[in-house]
Structure 1
Amino acid sequence: MNSPRSVLVTGGNRGIGRAIAEAFIAEGDNVAVTTRSGGAPEGALELKADVTDAAALEAAFKAAEEAHGPIEILIANAGITADTLLLRMSDEDWDSVIATNLTGSFRLARRAAKGMMRQRKGRIIFISSVVGLLGSPGQVNYAASKSGLVGMARSLARELGPRNITANVVAPGYVDTDMTSVLSDEQKEGIRSQIPLGRYADPAEVAGAVLWLASPSAAYVTGAVIPVDGGLGMGH
């Protein structure tokens, strides 16, 4: 049994984030989870924090470090949507999604990298989306924020690689979560018909890819975008 690692997952109270947190807990790791509304999985250290609030984020990092030691694995997963067509999209629709999905992830990576640089090891994993590379009508803000994570990860991979820190992206497709449950049956069927595997993902399948990127087996993988999308985004 390897010694437990210090893991931080943002947005870890539901959906993909929760599945990721549960997967690391099952591995025996020490997992801290940030959430805006509470409800972290059993066995996780729950930290109330919004990734757009720099002071709350710093407090969350300190609490996680006090409990589990310096963060060794960061999963930047917290994300929101504010979908609408371009001509109806307000500045607020744009700003809120970029602030959470992109700027929040930047702040997390910058803070986590401090400890990782000192330890000369670390794994940074951004949760993007098939939409970031494939595009999606009504999601100009969301797609921009999620594709931005790819550029960020690849820059970090080059910058932090000499310190034995990897930075990678997991790009899920459509997953059975609260975020997709709001779609109508007609919308769901339309999406499903475009997915070569003909089904939505289970959140645990996304967690599996994250777990692998954090494992010793993936020590030589950095700057990669790993799609977990049933083949929806091939070539994009």
Structure 2
Amino acid sequence: MGPKMVDSPVAVVTGGSCGIGASVAKKLAALGHRIILTYNTHAFEAEEVVRSIREDEGDAIAVKVDSTNASEITLLAKHPWCKSGICALVLNHGTYERWPASQVDPDRMSKTLEINFLSSHRIWWELNSQIVDGASIIVIGSQLATKGSVHGADYAASKAALTTWARSLALDVADRDITVNVVAPGFVDTAILSQDSEERRRQREEEVPLGRIASPDEIAGVVGFLCSEDAAYMTAGVIHVNGGLYRP
């Protein structure tokens, strides 16, 4: 199950320094992609991901990109690897803070929408001319996009906007054989859940029919499939990866 393209296809993974993004970068590298992973504040972690990929005989670089900084996104688009043609774009970057819905003020809402949604559109806009026909675009969404969240209304709203945009984009670029899909995780063992107490973690595990929290690698496995020839007829989809927790 290899990538859609041959001859060292390039994959851009935003927010690739840790968590789901790091696992996605490693997965796509293992499938034969050259990886451009972006990071904002976790430079050391990003370089560790690059080192790990290279140790496994893959090829990767880390590029510092503040997703709210248009000039840094423009510089990313000018990278020689991007200019050679992008075969996979994984929009994974984002922010999440726990605030009751009634306490999310306009500034916080605007900030979250800017980082999670508007910057994803901006990144796609800048890279669009370098995305090759037949490429895969994967958006990391969330079950909260349709489920909502008492302690993450701004996050849920941003993921809902991202999901609707991605599905709309899929219809427009289908004539280029570009697929656009959303992967919507449930509970994943990343920094977000590290804030949980042991009791809350047990509660989460009990809520999931499969009885456990996903690893980032399990989300990356789905992304890898969506970037392969085996998923060439899948587009405008939302793939829920949540152990049966949420069944829309």
Same fold (TM over 0.5): yes
Number of the residue aligned with 1:179? 192
Q: In the alignment, is the contact (CA less than 8 A) between 1:130 and 1:232 conserved in 2?
A: no
Structure 1 match to 2:213: 200
Structure 2: distance between partners of 1:159 and 1:28: 28
Which of residues 64, 70, 78 is equivalent to 1:62? 78
TM-score, with structure 2 as normaliser: 0.89
Q: Does 1:52 align with 2:68?
A: yes
Please tell me whether residue 86 in structure 1 is matched to residue 101 in structure 2.
yes
Amino acid paired to 1:194: E
What runs of 5+ residues in structure 1 fail to find an aligned partner?
A: none
Sequence identity (%)? 34
Q: How many residues align?
A: 232
Partner of 2:18: 14
2:164 to 121, 138, 151: 151
Deviates more, 1:71-80 or 1:128-137: 128-137
Decide whether the 8 Å contact of 1:11 with 1:77 is kept in 2. yes
Deviation at 1:64, TM superposition (A): 5.3
* CA displacement 1:140-182 (0-9 Å, x = unmatched): 1000111112211111111100111111000011111122111
* Structure 1 counterpart of 2:118, one-letter code: T
Partners of 2:7 and 2:140 in 1: CA distance: 25
Give the superposition deviation at 1:81. 0.9
RMSD: 1.5
Alpha-carbon distance in 2 for matches of 1:82, 1:194: 22
Letter in 1 for 2:245: L
Which SS does the other structure have where 1:34 is aligned?
strand
Contact 2:73 2:126 in 1 (8 A): no
Letter in 1 for 2:96: T
Secondary structure of the equivalent of 2:244? coil
Conserved? CA contact 2:137–2:179, under 8 Å: yes
Distance 1:64 1:221 in 2: 29
- In structure 2, give the amino acid aligned to 1:17: G
C-alpha distance 20-65 of structure 1, shift in aligned 2 (>3 A): same
Q: Is the 8 A contact 1:85 1:137 kept in 2?
A: yes
Distance between the aligned counterparts of 1:204 and 1:120, measured in 2?
A: 27
* Matched letter for residue 209 of structure 1: V
Q: Which runs of 5+ in 2 are unaligned?
A: 55-59
> Equivalent residue of 2:78, what SS?
helix
